Amino acid sequence: MKKAIPLLLGATLCAGALQASAAELHVYNWADYMLPEVPKAFAEKSGIKLTWDTYESNEALEAKLLAGNSGYDLVVPTNTFLENQLKAGVYQKLDKSKLPNWQHLDANLLQLMSANDPGNEHAVPYMYGTVLIGYNPDKVKAALGDDAPVNSWDLVFKPENMEKLKSCGVAMLDSPAEILPIALDYLGLDPNSTNSADYDKATELLLKIRPYMAYFHSAKYMTDIANGDICVAVGYSGSFFQFANRAKEAGNGVVVQWKLPKEGAPLWYDSFAIPADAKNVDEAHAFLNNLLDPKVVAPISDFLGYPNPNKDGMALVSAAIRDDADLSPSAEAQKNLYVLKPLPQKIERVRTRAWSKIKTGT
């Protein structure tokens, strides 16, 4: 879900010439998940000595937070990890009196996101996206005709469609935490079900299409669909936007399109949060309030290819993202989105066993 940027890796950005004893701020973010000019401009304007370190996985962040004394003032967890970490008490509440730009956030999206952070008390949402269907329109039309249900999960969950698509290649994320909830929701069940019998039904659904699947992988599908090596993938919304542009740049004649299925989809989001042991809390709030400025966050979305939950910021984002209802769901479409939640360990084991069975096809 994260795009790589060549700057800010372990970098220290500061206005040392302005303030010899500048205040400090230590940020720990996903690798390549920020427009480089944003923290640089903040450091120069505020005089805050800004140290920016990066990580590659939620697990790496969680290990630091749970060990204590992480040394960071701001971190960027994904929503399900955020919820678990809140239960462990590793974050402090936001002081919204220091965040006047909070008013720019989309109330509907905040309501969805409160499923992981009740009352939106601990985290400032940053970027978000969905899991949806990316496809090569020419190849899908050749396989299924003009009426191919590209706006429905029927495209990949109905065996009669998958049998015809097999020749051009279909891939899915290697992610039981996302694919199984989609299958559950498609069956009319709770995507966050804690009923083991529901996972049997989802497994049965996926086993019926397993013979027609090319592979499960959470990265390979991006280059493969841009190169024309597969014709359909279930993946992250921003990845299709990015790799459609890659295909255009390559001039290989491949067209990549994407659709948010009408039945609904999971919404994921990443947020900035302040660890409980942060030492530079005022500076953290100053950075967050700057990030909530519509003029600051809009270019970040343009750079990363993801929408942000800042309603006034989205008005400034390029039309290619802002006006694409499949990338930036309307208020009506948001009603069919759902936020994934951590599962009890017992059900997590059920889900893991189900995924192993699905992947092997047995």
Count the alpha carbons within 13 Å of 319 in the hemisphere toward its beta carbon.
0
Q: Read off the pTM.
A: 0.86
More confident residue, 362 or 340: 340
What pLDDT is stored for residue 9 in this prediction? Answer: 36
In angstroms, the Cα distances linking 90 to 43, 83, 111, 126, 230 are 26, 10, 22, 19, 42
SS3 47: coil
At 150, the amino acid letter reads V
Q: Domain limits of the chain?
A: 11-121+269-328, 130-264+341-360
Q: Give the residue carrying structure tokens 């970027």.
A: 127
The radius of gyration of the chain from alpha carbons, rounded to an integer in Å, stands at: 21
CA distance 182 to 125: 23
Q: With bands split at pLDDT 50, 70 and 90, how would you rate the model's confidence at 13?
A: low
Q: Is the pLDDT of residue 21 over 60?
A: no
Q: Give the residue carrying structure tokens 């750079």.
A: 303
CA distance 42 to 46: 6
Q: Is the pLDDT of residue 3 over 60?
A: no
Pairing of the two strands 123-135 and 170-172: unpaired
At 87, the amino acid letter reads K
CATH class of the 130-264+341-360 domain in this structure: alpha beta
CATH class of the 11-121+269-328 domain in this structure: alpha beta
* The two three-digit tokens of residue 53, written as one number: 């370190």
Instruction: Please provide the size of the chain in residues.
Output: 362
